[in-house]
Amino acid sequence: MNNILAIAHRELRSYFVSPIAYVVVGLFALLYGYFYIASLAFMVQFSAQAGMFGGGPQTVNVNEFMIRPLLSNTAIILLFILPFLTARAYAEEKRSGTIELLLTSPLSDLEIILGKFLGALALFLLMLAVTAVHMGILFWYGDPELGSILTGYLGLALMGGSFIALGLLVSSATRNQVVAGVGTFSLLLLFWVLSWMSDSAGPTAGAILSYLSILEHFDDFSKGVVDTAHVAYYLSFIAFGLFLTAKSVDSERWRG
């Protein structure tokens, strides 16, 4: 455990001594802020329009009209940003030769992988924590329902964890950060749009495609529902991603 934490600590530290943490968290906050204001404007407009039929502006459900679309948009932002958080994880160590230090120290592959995973996950959760400010403002002026916000964030955390696991896998297969970033992004995009084919692919194939689609499983979380099937999907996605990363690191040894 101490080994895992040592690796995680070093990873997290290296995000903050390089511009990565600031750029990623800053740009995420910017995009999130934009979607926040856009959703807010949409909700206000909707509420005013609804008021035209009755007498005066109507109160609308903040959760349904603002927070749900906002969290769905956040999922898309993460799809674009997280691949570049994990791109360096292995690629940079291989390029600079520091991987030799890790692989000749008394650490198991799993400890190294979990350490890297936790390091990236910590930065990602910190990124999400920034948005507590925006949510706080909603609570100050309105009366949203806390429960479905929390489940929505749980969903984001699980989904982000899956993105990171896939990112580590791709990064472990190359020594080039650009390849790792673009590769991860493309695979995630593919996992997202899988469900678009599900209508035309026939009943069985369609069901499989929409099950595999990584964003499909997020909807229920943003509605306030925690379905164990979705939790299981994300957790197994993470576990499988990390397992394949371990295989990828190990196979490199035999290939030389």
Partner 1 sequence: MIEVQHVTKRYGPVAAVSDVSFRVEAGQILGFLGPNGAGKTTTMRVLTGYLPPTEGTATVAGFDVLKDPIEVKRRTGYLPETPPLYPDMTVREYLTFVARINGLSAAERGNRLDQVMERTSVGDVADRHCGKLSKGYRQRVGLAQAILHNPDVLILDEPTAGLDPKQIIETRELIKELAGDHTIILSTHILPEVAQTCERVVIINKGRVVAEDSPDNLTGRLHGAVTVQLQVDTGGADPTAALHAVPGVAAVSVGEPGDEGRTIEIQSAQDVDIRRDLANAVVSNGWGLLEMRRARLSLEEIFLQLTTAEEPAGDGENAADEENAADEDLDEPAAATESADE
Binding site for partner 1 (CB under 8 A): 2-3, 6-7, 10, 13-14, 17-18, 94-108, 175, 252-256
Region for 144 from its dihedrals, namely left if φ exceeds 0, alpha if ψ lies in -120 to 50, beta otherwise: beta
Q: Which is nearer to partner 1, 203 or 253 (CB)?
A: 253
Q: How far is the CB of 24 from partner 1 (least distance, A)?
A: 16
Closest CA to 242 of 75, 82, 119, 109: 109
Write down the residue that tokens 């926040």 correspond to: 36
Q: Which is nearer to partner 1, 7 or 188 (CB)?
A: 7
Q: How far is the CB of 236 from partner 1 (least distance, A)?
A: 28
- CA pair distance 122, 69, nearest whole angstrom: 25
Number of Cβ within 10 Å of residue 207's Cβ equals 12
Q: How far is the CB of 52 from partner 1 (least distance, A)?
A: 58
* Residue positions counted in the chain: 256
Q: Which is nearer to partner 1, 136 or 256 (CB)?
A: 256
Q: Which is nearer to partner 1, 97 or 136 (CB)?
A: 97
B/e letters for 2-22, b = 16+ CB within 10 Å, e = fewer, are: ebbeebbeebbeebeeeebbe
Q: Which is nearer to partner 1, 45 or 251 (CB)?
A: 251
Q: How far is the CB of 12 from partner 1 (least distance, A)?
A: 12
Q: How far is the CB of 116 from partner 1 (least distance, A)?
A: 13
Q: How far is the CB of 256 from partner 1 (least distance, A)?
A: 4
Q: Which is nearer to partner 1, 54 or 106 (CB)?
A: 106
